[in-house]
Amino acid sequence: MSLPEEVPDRPGSELTITRIYERAKYLFPDQEIVYRTRRGVFRYTYSDFADRVERLASALSSLGVKGLDRVATMDWNTHWHLEEYYAVPMMGAVLHPVNVRLAPQEIVYTMNQAEDSVLIVNADFLQLAEAVVPNVKSIKHVIVVDADSVPSKVGGVQAYHYEDLLKERGGRFEFQALNERRPAFMFYTSGTTGLPKGVYHSHRQVVLHAFSILSSVAGFGAGPKGIQITSRDVSMIVVPMYHVYAWGFPFSSIMSGQKTVLPGRFDSKAYLELIKQEKVTYFAGVPTILYMLLTDPESEKYDLSGVIFINGGSALPEGLALMAERRGMKVFVGYGLTETAPVLTLALPPSRLQDKLSDRELFYIKLRTGYPIFFVDIAVVDQDGKPVPKDGKTLGEVVVRAPWVTYEYYKDPEKTEAAWRGGWFHTGDLAVWYPDGSILIMDREKDVIKSGGEWISSLRLEDAISQHPGILMVTVIGAKHPKWGERPVALVVPRRGWEGKLTTEEINRFLTENFVNRGAIPKWWLPDKVIEVQSLPLTSTGKADKKVLRAQYSDVLAK
Amino acid sequence: MSLPEEVPDRPGSELTITRIYERAKYLFPDQEIVYRTRRGVFRYTYSDFADRVERLASALSSLGVKGLDRVATMDWNTHWHLEEYYAVPMMGAVLHPVNVRLAPQEIVYTMNQAEDSVLIVNADFLQLAEAVVPNVKSIKHVIVVDADSVPSKVGGVQAYHYEDLLKERGGRFEFQALNERRPAFMFYTSGTTGLPKGVYHSHRQVVLHAFSILSSVAGFGAGPKGIQITSRDVSMIVVPMYHVYAWGFPFSSIMSGQKTVLPGRFDSKAYLELIKQEKVTYFAGVPTILYMLLTDPESEKYDLSGVIFINGGSALPEGLALMAERRGMKVFVGYGLTETAPVLTLALPPSRLQDKLSDRELFYIKLRTGYPIFFVDIAVVDQDGKPVPKDGKTLGEVVVRAPWVTYEYYKDPEKTEAAWRGGWFHTGDLAVWYPDGSILIMDREKDVIKSGGEWISSLRLEDAISQHPGILMVTVIGAKHPKWGERPVALVVPRRGWEGKLTTEEINRFLTENFVNRGAIPKWWLPDKVIEVQSLPLTSTGKADKKVLRAQYSDVLAK
């Protein structure tokens, strides 16, 4: 009898979603969850929520959901979605929130690959479900939420009303202890290069991720210049729950006993009203959401001072950040990928650093991609996998390790192997590394322009060009070049009155005066060509679709 | 190819102490660690610390430390001890901090059972080491810290000076990724009933424990009436590091990048001076420590306002808590056992509750045993293992589950089985359970008095009797009784001037007037006998030694 090489588990060691649920029931039974449906704004307690979660599990179980069965959802951020987020993984099954912004044929592809057996759909997406379900043979049941009445069949499959199911089949359900490594969720990337790729995460991964965000923001952001989120905060879950765990908030909010607001279908007026009525103190989202809330015609009537906004999905433009700060909001950036569950970094500097920075320096640091949160190892590496200098200048690829990075791309060993080469997960994002350990993403690896063996950041160029007064939208791609391999080409949408004036000469004059001459951009980065267009094609996540643009414009310099 | 039942790990998934170390190096290289030795107060940075940890690992490795070898320590809270806390487990070996307060023969027993191969000893404990080492055959090397010179042998074993070792053998050392379930530490209980019992914890257990404390205090205690500890705080590690992980602070402080103070050998004046000079914002300890700091003749010269004290080890007496609050300190209680690594609860109520409580109610709640921290499941059960009502009255045993509860008592399957019966770890502590989920420990199971099938809390009686003006110290034990099985007997040490006056009648008159008549204590709890003594025997942790007293007085009612 001696020390074991591995200490075995005793009951209660497992890091599962059930632990978050049980804790919430135990400590915060009377805390509120506020939700907005087509009928209005309602509220119930954590205790009511816990009860409905149990009844949902019972109902799903009676429909035959068992083992690692996949349950798909098509919904906004509703209390129904939250109930599914807990009940399905806690039963031992796997929740697959479908990204309703993908093209229907992409959705069919993902649901077939995931072999979803049940679909829970908001009445708003019934038409989509009718189109998709006939093409997904594994679907056996459809459950509809937020509907006055439910057709007997959807897409040829037996349909139920969620509330009826809970009433009729929602008995008691005893959640069993699960292995923490059991898969809990599946998500698909938005697939800007080819078909969407599936990833899945275990209970352990989901729980550690939520725990890390929670404690990183609570502890890390402390201090007079810091930003803190604690159990007293009121959380509004704005990031769509069909995007990777809504960035973890459905777990971190409930875990810490926060009043939690599920605002339903996006509507800037309704969201502003909820912030006011429910005294929301923080939310996260893509820059577009912030922009829409700040530019709503009635926005100025709402007091947003003190409200925290965590930006993700793409870089937070300085102008937008300033607009938010002028309204008294506190903004900072977070970063992650669907593959990484998602959060890897938050742009909250350590307290010691905060004290040494001026307000303006701090403002810019909070716009960076950020510092790794607990348990995230991060490095920026060159093409040989060697760390680049922490000089804030040299571009390299961001590689990461964390307990919540996806084990694989589902059914795609080739892509898995490529992403995990050398024991690090390759994000495909190009960044510079600062001496303080923070990073700033400059481009996607696939979007970077490889000119004469050197890299030109399309994002950095876009950011610079967007500051020209005549620019409404801009995107920069690499076009084939006989000598340099690739050279930058800018596609610009003019503001009214600027049509015909955004020539290559004009843009390069602007860039030279404002950036090249100040050393902010190298001269050789100046685009070879600027092309005026009326609009830009967008991806399902609202970014310019460079895949389409490259197909269209890649030969423009070769001619 | 389908979803696996268990998601496998990728590199960087492991929850090991190395992750805390690497993070600290990465994000907080210039943060300070302040330490006090016999020569004075010094400071170095996290970066210096990390460097010395690496060199210590290299030196130990060159002495032959490998595999799961046990390295014992006998030291105060010094930077050397902190370096050992990291280097040894990160090498893959196991640190065994020896409780220097145990009797030498008990220490010999524990070191033989642990089969320690190296002993690192502070010069202050050389005499103890000389006595112990000859009786522990497994010891191959002795390393001495805080010494001007080191004898060539200690207890017949080759001895080295720590600093010389680091200079001569302290090269670079590459810490390998470890299995998170690898044992990292061994500790022995103080063994108030029989020989000390050994427990060990894995990296995973140590890390999750530290993480849970950190985020519980950061998030849970938020708010105007709350108490928060974040990365800006300055930690002084007062709980001896030879007691179970100094309650986790050597990890939670470094993890969050706090300035960390290691105050060395206890000395109330020196500790007060450190609090002042280093602007310490929080520390933890047993009530005795707080008492000594507050009653030091020069204590009043020091401004303690705002300083947080986390009480553990035994209940925080109300009078002492009031004394601390009058000095502007913020106090609350934590609870745990050596077996549970140790923290299970903290007496910080959820924010929502705080708002509903008066300052006075909140004060008393912070003196309770507290609320379970993240990932701790707690229940108070009767003798059949059924939960008692959450009525704040019914006494039951505290049973727990948490990822960091010990898997077993080392080499003692019988005690292990008894403690883990029914899948819950039995703490042996008796408590009442409140409607809000908090608990209040009333007694040790072995100290409770079983009278006619009912339980009488010896602690509750002691607390009441201690409020009699003539009482300096009191302890209550169960003495054998022909009719009731056991009945309470109080052993009291009188204050000066009260000698001979603390009769059974006087004490029971006092209890009746002040407690029984107010319904605070049942009449049948009144002690059958009060015995005046000149002093009470104490255990190694400074509590009254009830084992000795029971041996001496158990027949006092039978006669």
Q: Output the pLDDT for position B192.
A: 57
Low-confidence ranges of chain A (pLDDT < 70): 1, 191-193, 219-222, 541, 559
pLDDT in tens, chain B (559 residues): 689 999 999 999 999 999 999 999 999 999 999 999 999 999 999 999 999 999 999 999 999 999 999 999 999 999 999 999 999 999 999 999 999 988 899 999 999 999 999 999 999 999 999 999 999 999 999 999 999 999 999 999 999 999 999 999 999 999 999 999 999 999 999 765 578 999 999 999 999 999 999 888 776 777 777 888 888 899 999 999 999 999 999 999 999 999 999 999 999 999 999 999 999 999 999 988 999 999 999 999 999 999 999 999 888 888 899 999 999 999 999 999 999 999 999 999 888 888 888 999 999 999 999 999 999 999 999 989 999 999 998 899 999 999 999 999 999 999 999 999 999 999 999 999 999 999 999 888 888 898 887 788 888 899 899 899 999 889 999 999 988 889 999 999 999 999 999 999 999 999 999 999 987 788 989 999 999 999 999 877 677 888 899 999 999 997 5
Task: With CA atoms as reference, report the closest residue to B436 among A114, A370, A257, A500.
Answer: A257
Contact A350 B27 (CB under 8 A): yes
B308-340 burial, b at 16+ Cβ within 10 Å, e below that, comes to bbbbbbbbbbeebbebbeebebbbbbbbbbbbb
Q: For an interface test with B, which of A2, A235, A256 has the most B Cβ atoms less than 10 Å from its Cβ?
A: A256
**List of chain B residues whose C-beta atoms are within 8 Å of the C-beta of residue A201:** 7
Distance between CA atoms of B55 and B59, rounded to whole angstroms?
6
Contact B228 A230 (CB under 8 A): yes
Task: With CA atoms as reference, report the closest residue to B119 among B184, B175, B65.
Answer: B65
Instruction: Give residue for tokens 């409930």.
Output: A254
Q: Output the pLDDT for position B223.
A: 72
Contacts of A358 (CB under 8 A, 6+ apart): none
Residues 39-58 on B with a CB inside 8 Å of A are none
> CB-hemisphere CA count at 13 Å for B428?
15
- Minimal C-alpha gap between A193 and chain B (Å): 23
Tell me whether strands B259-262 and B32-37 are parallel, antiparallel or unpaired.
parallel
Contacts of B38 (CB under 8 A, 6+ apart): B123, B124, B146, B264, B265
What 3-state class would DSSP assign to A500? Answer: coil
DSSP secondary structure code for residue A385 in this structure: S
Task: With CA atoms as reference, report the closest residue to A334 among A458, A217, A419.
Answer: A217
Q: Least CA distance to B375: which residue of chain A?
A: A19
Q: Output the pLDDT for position B194.
A: 73
- Minimal C-alpha gap between B65 and chain A (Å): 16
Distance between CA atoms of B199 and A1, rounded to whole angstroms?
14
Question: Position B200: which residue type?
Answer: Y
Token pair belonging to B357? 């409580």
Say if residues B157 and B165 touch (Cβ distance below 8 Å).
Answer: no
| ipTM of the modeled complex | 0.91
Instruction: Give residue for tokens 């269209």.
Output: A552
What 3-state class would DSSP assign to B467? Answer: coil
Distance between CA atoms of A121 and A126, rounded to whole angstroms?
7
Bond before A342 cis per omega within 30 degrees: yes
Residues 306-345 on B with a CB inside 8 Å of A are none
Residues 200-219 on A with a CB inside 8 Å of B are 200-202, 204-205, 208, 211, 214-215, 218-219
A291 exposure class (CB count in 10 Å sphere: 0-12, 13-18, 19+):
middle
Q: Output the pLDDT for position B229.
A: 86
Q: Output the pLDDT for position A165.
A: 97
pLDDT per residue as tens digits for the range A443-466: 888 888 988 877 888 888 998 998
**Element holding A275 (H helix, E strand):** helix A268-278
DSSP string across B483-549: TTEEEEEEEEEEPTT-TTT--HHHHHHHHIIIIITTTSS-GGGS-SEEEE-S---B-TTSSB-HHHH
A7, A31, A220 ranked by CB distance to B352: nearest: A31
Distance between CA atoms of A26 and A232, rounded to whole angstroms?
17
Say if residues B92 and B68 touch (Cβ distance below 8 Å).
Answer: yes
B184-214 burial, b at 16+ Cβ within 10 Å, e below that, comes to bbbbbbbbbeeebbbbbbbbbbbbbbbbbbb
Token pair belonging to A7? 């200490």
Residues 478-537 on B with a CB inside 8 Å of A are none
**Phi, psi (deg, nearest 5) at residue A53:** -60, -45
B1, B407, B411 ranked by CB distance to A8: nearest: B407
Q: Output the pLDDT for position A313.
A: 87
Distance between CA atoms of A124 and A141, rounded to whole angstroms?
18
Residues 101-140 on B with a CB inside 8 Å of A are none
Q: Measured between alpha carbons, how far is residue A519 from residues A102, A127, A398, B224 in Å?
A: 41, 53, 25, 48
Say if residues A453 and A504 touch (Cβ distance below 8 Å).
Answer: no
Residues of A with catalytic function: 189, 339, 450, 455
**List of chain B residues whose C-beta atoms are within 8 Å of the C-beta of residue A208:** 15
Residues 417-456 on B with a CB inside 8 Å of A are 420, 423-425, 437
A27, A256, A423 ranked by CB distance to B371: nearest: A27
**List of chain A residues whose C-beta atoms are within 8 Å of the C-beta of residue B183:** 3-4, 7
Task: With CA atoms as reference, report the closest residue to B279 among B24, B78, B38, B34.
Answer: B34
Contact A5 B68 (CB under 8 A): yes
CA B447 to chain CA centroid, Å, is 19
Tell me whether strands B116-122 and B141-145 are parallel, antiparallel or unpaired.
parallel
Token pair belonging to B309? 């004290």
Q: Measured between alpha carbons, how far is residue B14 from residues A437, A438, B203, B204 in Å?
A: 21, 23, 9, 8
Token pair belonging to A488? 């930058």
Note whether B19 contacts A: Cβ–Cβ < 8 A. Answer: yes
Q: For an interface test with A, which of B232, B281, B377 has the most A Cβ atoms less than 10 Å from its Cβ?
A: B232
Q: Output the pLDDT for position B1.
A: 61
Distance between CA atoms of A265 and A242, rounded to whole angstroms?
12
Q: Output the pLDDT for position A542.
A: 72
Q: For an interface test with B, which of A1, A2, A3, A182 has the most B Cβ atoms less than 10 Å from its Cβ?
A: A3
Q: For an interface test with B, which of A15, A176, A375, A414 has the most B Cβ atoms less than 10 Å from its Cβ?
A: A375
Distance between CA atoms of B157 and B163, rounded to whole angstroms?
18
Q: For an interface test with A, which of B5, B6, B7, B344 has the most A Cβ atoms less than 10 Å from its Cβ?
A: B7
Task: With CA atoms as reference, report the closest residue to B375 among B210, B495, B158, B502.
Answer: B210
Instruction: Give residue for tokens 């996949």.
Output: A70
Q: Least CA distance to A374: which residue of chain B?
A: B23
- Minimal C-alpha gap between B336 and chain A (Å): 16
Q: Give me chain B's average pLDDT, please.
A: 93
Domains plus CATH for chain B?
45-200 (3.40.50.12780), 449-553 (3.30.300.30)
DSSP string across B331-365: EEEEEE-GGGSSEEEE----HHHHHHS-HHHHHHH
Residues 61-80 on B with a CB inside 8 Å of A are 68
DSSP secondary structure code for residue A284 in this structure: E
B535-540: long-range pairs with CB below 8 Å, 24+: B535/B473, B535/B493, B536/B473, B536/B475, B536/B491, B536/B493, B539/B190, B539/B192, B540/B99, B540/B101, B540/B102, B540/B103, B540/B190
**List of chain A residues whose C-beta atoms are within 8 Å of the C-beta of residue B352:** 28, 30-31, 257
| CB atoms closer than 10 angstroms to residue B516 | 18
Instruction: Give residue for tokens 């209940």.
Output: B315
Distance between CA atoms of A369 and B421, rounded to whole angstroms?
50
Distance between CA atoms of B295 and B128, rounded to whole angstroms?
30
Contact B374 A218 (CB under 8 A): no
Task: Give the pTM.
Answer: 0.91
- Minimal C-alpha gap between A500 and chain B (Å): 50
What 3-state class would DSSP assign to A360? Answer: helix
Task: With CA atoms as reference, report the closest residue to A50 among A29, A71, A81.
Answer: A29
Say if residues A446 and A193 touch (Cβ distance below 8 Å).
Answer: yes
DSSP string across A7-18: PPP-TT----HH
**List of chain B residues whose C-beta atoms are within 8 Å of the C-beta of residue A223:** 230-232
> CB-hemisphere CA count at 13 Å for A36?
21
Residues 238-277 on A with a CB inside 8 Å of B are 255-257
Instruction: Give residue for tokens 């959820």.
Output: B350
Strand order in the sheet with B198-202: B153-154, B157-161, B141-145, B116-122, B70-74, B94-97, B183-188, B198-202
**List of chain A residues whose C-beta atoms are within 8 Å of the C-beta of residue B6:** 179, 181-182, 202
Note whether A19 contacts B: Cβ–Cβ < 8 A. Answer: yes
pLDDT per residue as tens digits for the range A155-203: 999 999 999 999 999 999 999 999 999 999 999 997 655 789 999 999 9
Question: Position A182: which residue type?
Answer: R
Contact A179 B377 (CB under 8 A): no
Q: Least CA distance to A9: which residue of chain B?
A: B407
